[in-house]
Structure 1
Amino acid sequence: MSYELKHVFASLPQMERGVAKVLAGDPKGNNFLYTNGKSVIIRNINNPAIADVYTEHPHQVIVAKYAPSGFYIASGDVSGKIRIWDTTQKEHLLKYEYQPFGGKIKDIAWTEDSKRIAVVGEGREKYGAVFLWDSGSSVGEIVGHSKVVNSVDIKQTRPYRLITGSDDNCTAFYEGPPFKFKCTFSEHGRFVNCVRYSPDGSRYVSAGADGQIFMYDGKTAEKLGALGGAKAHEGGIYAVSWSPDSTQLISASGDKTVKLWDVASGTAVTTFSLGSDVLDQQLGCLWQRDHLLSISLSGFINYLDKNNPSRPLRIIKGHSKAIQCVTVHKEDGRSVIYSGGQDGHINYWDAETGENEGITGKGHSNMVAKMAVDESHRLVTCSMDDSVRYTDLSKKEYSASDLVKMDVQPKAVSVGPGGLAVAVCIGQVVLLRDKRKVFTLENLGYEPEAVSVHAGGVTVAVGGADGKVRLYSIQGNTLKDDGKVLEAKGPVTDMAFSKDGAFLAVSDEKKVVTIFTVADGYAVKNDFYGHHAKIVCLAWSPDNSHFASGGMDMLVFVWNVNDPEKRIKIPDAHRLHHVSGLAWLDKHTLVTTSHDSCVKQWALKI
């Protein structure tokens, strides 16, 4: 019994309106990286479905940068911690950890010999530091600013120079090492969001919230002019990135465009228009070899096309907020994974290639709590926006007629044959048939938490916060209490009948999964112990002899129904994030989702 990680479908960057996002590349030009929550995500630039996730920061990570050697990455978080870790090993061993100042780290820069690191941000006493990577010893001071420093860069050729840009509308210039303050420039009328040196070190630029880009001599800091004259963009500029040959650069702006500049003439050669919605504001960019990338406020990563500026070559989509639930469905012989997020967004993924897209149209406006696919190939979802939705998977778009409004907030939904679905809401159990509410049970005397419909479509099991499971029979369009109550070990968190209807699995807050045998009048078959914290989700394998459980302890177990000792334990399935959803692609492949916004596939040898 063993397992291996087969695929990671990574989260998008976590975006905030009006806040720049640093998108960084590796020195070889194969990967790019960004942050989301406590994770640093490394993706292959040619095939973004190939991803690696680093999750060792205890706090939200803001920025990560490769060392020019390519062997290490430095990442900084909101608490002011810098972690320097290895890129060559799968374990990403920690090399050094420092706390240069107390407060959010916003940008990082390395010297070209990978020996010195500059960090800037929202310190309490100071807004930046420069130190040796292997000892933490200071090699200069970052002074001269009166507010938060947003951006830093170091000239990649000797003699070294360092530049910073701040909320005090100024850029500062330092000579070194050790780096000493030389002068400041206050050309910008608003915050300076980004400063970047050209790869050859001959020039550097500063870009600001005033829509301007100024250019300076890389060695002397003499001002050389402004790109685009009085204004480079109509909106604030959040990021710039140079071409590898130092002759061009791209800039990303809140005016929803990215511009490609010819540095010698100071004019825009190409303007990439990326939409008209507020979510199309561009907050980050990267020029990596032949690839031009930008990030929208939506979190989408755009691969820009120089030959067709009105339409990106490809757009990488996914989740930027926590994933709450998952299910799978076979379509035209291919397995498709559906995942629902805390923000109401539903994404679907080709299980083999990782190609993904969101369901189109106006959908849920709040967290998707549970989802299932019925026999009519409809995705049935319930959400904290007090609704249950039916989405036709052949069309993959929302429709207003597929919305069923609930009286109160639904927590879970389960589907059965003949267009049947049962939703448990706060204080209610609701029977639905063919997209209509047909029966509601109220005044239950307990709080329902989980539900599962038997494959035969005649029995519904409802799990309560009182640690009991009640069985109801479906009679036409009504639910009748069978008077049968099963005892769980604690408040029920999830439950599921096996595909063949032989067993009922119930998980609870007391970290136990109990299996009941349906044919024996729901006699207890086995209790399964192993989790260290509340179990959140359950899923049966297609062969009905195994099931998986996931919990707040970041553990996933794959159990053998007949032998609780025979199990596969996947520790840290989503490190530092609890497992939120489970689904089986086939009897040897398990899908897990989590609050780290990633979808993972595990190959199991059972």
Structure 2
Amino acid sequence: MDNNEGNEIQLHGDEEILEVIDLNESEPGPDDLADDLEDVDFEDAGNDDGGWETEDEMEAEVEHDDSELTFSKHTGSVFCVSLDPATNSMAVTGGEDDKAFVWRVSDGEVLLECTGHKDSVTCAVFSHDSSMMASGDMSGMIKVWNIQSKEEIWSFEVGDLEWLEWHPCAPVLLAGTDDGNMWMWKIPSGECKTFQSSACQATSGKVLPDGKRAVVGYEDGTVRVWDLKQGNAVHVIKGQDGHQGALTCLACNKDGSLVLTGSVDGCAKLINTATGKVVGSFSADGGKAKGSKDEAETNSVESVGFCNILPLLAVAFLDGTLAIYDLSSQVLRNRCQHEAGIVHLQWEESSSVVSTCCLDGALRLWDARTGNIVSEYRGHTAEILDFAINREASIVVTASGDNLSKVFCLQRPDR
């Protein structure tokens, strides 16, 4: 696809227009972007009493399932899940079957089946206003769909895809690829801007809340803060202060002033986005993390996140440790131990509860203030690979290696 020339993208925030993308400075830009802007499988008993099972034996074969609904349209592992930000009533899941499905959370009805991908769909996300959904597969095929018309409105093929994310307040899509590039497109016109770096994977990325900057982590341990309008890296964090292994995850706090990064080197770094300075470093044992390549083989950081209502942050490790730190003192507050490796964590929007999904197929909710488990939900027969929580923290939608996505209704003593 040829890039259109002479276009500038302007992004509307809540109170002002954010001019973010200058696709070509030789000509004036177009209109503002924001303006476009339960079945039981009884097996043969094989015993010596005539083939009949006792009631207890039959009950033991029935998998314990806490879910309210099971979405079973995928024919391979389900790798990703997202909820639409506008209403939280729609989920999108992507899977090993080279498909994405948009479906209604209340009853599991398929609203849109997204086909045409060449490989496993590992990224599927709604635009900020829920009018569009972007799906991306491992080979680099990206497709954008109009939710109302149920039509594919744009597609593009890049190198092997690492991550995909919409801008928080405009119809702008960003992606990171195996060749180290970050791409940015205006949708649906497809006007494009690329942010080039060293030839190693752009493994994780996040647009900051101001809409003007993005933070990208790379395979060599480097973290870059990009100016989306100018197209240059305003901060590059590497070397002694940076990570000593590939970035696995990153998250920003509510105002975007801080970014927390995780790596296969076994540590998490706290970075000030205004100065580009590393202001904190954390390891699973609660001490100051040094990070080494040797740790990469043992205890990778798999997920990180900030609490929205308290000065707390969470770091999840492959060995099953969920570490809760006090943000101001950087002291370990609680350690929540899991029996299996943690895949993903997410804080509830308006509480101090943090949820985790694990390789053992369980979803767990933890009170970060006490370190105590609040509740545990089961139903999957394989690892949970991703999950999403709605704004009210009343439901969780999961994606699993058992080819299923499930909806769990969260019940807690305080409700």
| Interval containing the TM-score (normalised by the shorter chain) | 0.5 to 0.7
Q: CA deviation at 1:592?
A: 4.2
Point out where structure 2 has 5 or more consecutive residues left out of the alignment: 1-37, 46-51, 286-294, 341-357, 362-381
Q: Deviations over 1:212-240 (max 9, x none)?
A: xxxxxxxxxxxxxxxxxxxxxxxxxxxxx
Confirm or deny that 1:512 pairs with 2:258.
Answer: no
C-alpha separation in 1, matches of 2:270 and 2:398: 21
TM-aligned CA distance change 1:566 to 1:454, over 3 Å: same
Aligned length: 306
Task: Name the structure 2 match of 1:419.
Answer: 171
Task: Name the counterpart of 1:32.
Answer: 39
How far apart, in 2, do the equivalents of 1:335 and 1:542 lie?
23
> How far apart in 1 are the matches of 2:244 and 2:411?
29
Deviation at 1:547, TM superposition (A): 6.3
**CA distance in 2 between partners of 1:602 and 1:571 (Å):** 23
The one-letter code of the counterpart of 1:481 is: A
Tell me by how many angstroms 1:472 deviates: 1.2
Residue 379 of structure 2 is matched in structure 1 by none
Other-structure match for 2:14: none
1:341, CA displacement in angstroms?
A: 0.9
The yes-or-no answer on 1:583 pairing with 2:388 is: yes
Per-residue deviation at 1:465?
0.8
Aligned to 2:138: 384
Q: CA separation in 1, counterparts of 2:315 and 2:94?
A: 18
* RMSD, aligned CA: 3.8
Instruction: Give, in angstroms, the shift of residue 515 of structure 1.
Output: 3.3
Q: 2:39 is aligned with what amino acid?
A: F
Q: Larger relative contact order (C-alpha < 8 A, sep ≥ 6)?
A: 2
The amino acid that maps onto 1:575 is D
- Per-residue CA distance 1:307-328 (angstroms, 9 max, x = gap): xxxxxxxx97433311212222
Q: Distance in 1 between matches of 2:312 and 2:124?
A: 21
Partner of 1:496: 251
Amino acid aligned to 2:360: R
Residues 587 and 511 (structure 1 numbering): CA distance in 2 closer, same or farther, change over 3 Å?
farther
Partner of 1:409: 160
1:482 matched to 2:230: no
Report the TM-score, using the length of structure 1 for normalisation: 0.43
Aligned match for 1:86, one of 52, 55, 60: 60
Give the counterpart letter for 1:440 in structure 2: T
Quote the residue 1:365 is aligned against: 118
1:429 paired with 2:414, answer no
- Note the alpha carbon deviations across 1:484-515, whole angstroms, 9 max, x for none: 32513521012232343233222211343333
Deviations 1:355-408 (A, max 9, x none): 24262253423212223322232222321242222223334x341x321222x2
Label 1:490 to 1:533 Cα distance change in 2 as closer, same or farther (>3 A).
same
Taking structure 1 as reference, are residues 88 and 434 closer, same or farther at Cα in structure 2, changes over 3 Å only? closer
Contact 1:360 1:398 in 2 (8 A): no
SS in 2 for 1:327: strand
Distance across 1 between alignment mates of 2:78 and 2:110: 15
Distance (whole Å) between structure 2 residues aligned to residue 68 and residue 602 of structure 1 = 33
Q: Which residue of 2 aligns with 1:192?
A: none
Matched letter for residue 108 of structure 2 = E
The one-letter code of the counterpart of 2:56 is: F
- Which protein is richer in strand relative to its size? 1
**Any conservation in 2 of the 1:542–1:587 contact (CA below 8 Å)?**
no
Matched residue type, 2:334: K
Q: What is the rounded CA distance, in whole Å, between the counterparts of 1:404 and 1:89 in structure 2?
A: 42
Change (3 A) 1:591 1:509: farther
Contact 2:72 2:404 survives alignment (8 Å): no
- Cα 1:445/1:366, change in 2 over 3 Å: closer
| CA shift for structure 1 position 331 | 5.0
Task: Report deviation, 1:90.
Answer: 5.3
Determine what percentage of the aligned residue pairs are the same residue: 13
Larger radius of gyration: 1
Give 2:164's aligned amino acid.
Answer: V
